[in-house]
Amino acid sequence: MKVLILTSEMRIGGTCRDAVEWANRLAGHGDDVMLIAQSATGEGVHRLSAAVKLMGLGGGRALLSAGRLLSTLRKHPDTVILANAGTLAGLAIIFRSLGLIRQRIIYVDPFNPADTFRRGWKTASIYRYLLWRADAFVHLSKFAERIHLGLGLCEGKSLVIPNISSGGTAAASLVPAASPLRLVAVGRLDVIKGFDRLIRAFGQLVGRWPGATLRIVGEGYDRFRLEQLIRDADLGGSVKLVGHSDDVAGELRKANLFVLSSLYEGMPNTLVEALDQGMRVVATPCRGSVRSLMHRLGASAMLISEDAFADDLIRAIEAGLALDSSAWAVIHGRHREIFDKERNFLELRELLVR
């Protein structure tokens, strides 16, 4: 099978990580894979298998590289298109409607629709009139599918295939509560990740767990502001911005609790990876997507309220630490069932083969 994967960029983040994972897994399965990225520079390039061909569209706005994208798609007529970049997928659907290409198009939506449809008529139109015209519209969670079906997506095109992680799902290590408490958060340094409110709340948290530490793994444009927040709160000795790491699993193993503080997410790979590692986790609802998952896991007590973040962070951590190993083993067992990486990969590949 020949597959063209369309993604936005190769900087490590959720969409890049998923695209790289698809490409490597498909290539390892013997498929002929080309990954086409709007911007083909970043850490994700180094994670690609040598068997995967990579092509960049030059960066900048996707509409400006429409001609190059069309030329590439026309050179590979006997392929199937797998995309998680909305604009590139939308362009491919326009090309096909004009009779310029004929490939099947599978779109995997990486975003939280509760946020997507708040962005105005332009974004809503792209989804309703372009992306829903893909041959299949794949959601990462049942929560996302429920919203799209309620807004009019054809049920026959809708599928739920959760994230496909690269790391093996370990038997839950369930690190016991330790003194001092060691927290870790992972993600690009971006306002939507909510690291600013996590840092502000940490001063209050140290009052509850003296000697507690927080490591934030990731890089991004918001670093200067977050560093200033750490200095202003006099937390330099306990909060560290680690920067980019090629060993996120190793960073997770240094901690005994993972914190997801994002304002919104589609289905966060970082939370999936933390649960893969057998960690205890606390998380914000992320406008519904994570709330839905935590409810399915039986971990609703570890959700952090958006209204009283600092106080509820402490309450959620206390709830997480209070559960014994057997209770967390049940939660991790449910997680492994949902995020069965081999089953989910094969389901995605079978969709491409149809």
pLDDT of residue 128: 82
Task: Collect contacts of 219-222 with beta carbons under 8 A, ≥24 apart.
Answer: 219/188, 219/189, 219/243, 219/244, 220/188, 220/189, 220/190, 221/189, 221/190, 222/189, 222/190, 222/191, 222/193, 222/195, 222/196
Q: Per-residue pLDDT tens, the chain, 354 aa: give them.
A: 999 999 998 887 788 889 999 999 999 999 999 999 998 888 889 889 999 999 999 877 777 889 999 999 999 999 999 999 998 999 999 999 999 999 999 999 998 887 777 767 777 788 888 899 999 999 999 999 999 999 889 999 999 999 886 654 454 444 455 568 999 999 999 999 999 999 999 999 999 999 999 999 999 999 999 999 999 999 999 999 999 888 888 999 989 999 999 998 888 889 999 999 999 999 999 988 899 999 999 999 999 998 899 999 999 999 999 999 999 999 999 999 999 989 999 999 999 998
Closest CA to 140 of 51, 319, 328, 271: 271
Cα separation of 250 and 72, whole Å? 39
DSSP helix, strand, coil percent of the chain (3-state; round to 5) = 50, 15, 35
Q: Taking the domains of the chain in order of start, what are their residue ranges?
A: 2-164+340-353, 182-338
pLDDT at 174: 46
Query: Please, where are the H alpha helices in the chain?
Result: 14-28, 66-75, 86-97, 113-116, 121-125, 142-150, 195-208, 223-232, 248-253, 269-276, 289-297, 309-322, 325-338, 341-353
On the 0-12 / 13-18 / 19+ scale of CB atoms within 10 A, 354 is exposed
Domain at 182-338: CATH architecture: 3-Layer(aba) Sandwich (3.40)
pTM over 0.85? The answer is yes
Name the token pair of 179.
Answer: 């003194």
For the domain bounded by 2-164+340-353, which CATH number is listed? 3.40.50.2000
The C-alpha angle 300, 271, 348, rounded to 5 degrees, equals: 110
d(CA 91, CA 4): 14
pLDDT of amino acid 11: 81
Which tokens hold the place of 328?
């967390």
Q: Same topology for domains 2-164+340-353 and 182-338, yes or no?
A: yes
Q: Which residues contact 350 (CB under 8 A, 6 or more apart)?
A: none
Measured CA to CA, the distance from residue 144 to residue 160 in angstroms comes to: 9
How far is residue 31's CA from residue 21's CA, in Å, rounded to a whole number? 14
Between the CA atoms of 275, 280, 281 and 282, what dihedral angle is there, to the nearest 10 degrees?
Answer: 160
Burial class (CB in 10 A: 0-12, 13-18, 19+), 353: exposed
> CA 260, CA 320: separation in Å to the nearest integer?
13
Antiparallel, parallel or unpaired: β 158-160 and 136-139: parallel
Which residues pair with residue 138 across a beta bridge? Answer: 108, 159
> Is the separation of the CB atoms in 64 and 38 below 8 Å?
no
- Cα–Cα–Cα angle for 347, 42, 47, rounded to 5 degrees: 45
Give the tokens for residue 184. Answer: 């870790």
The length of the chain in residues reads 354
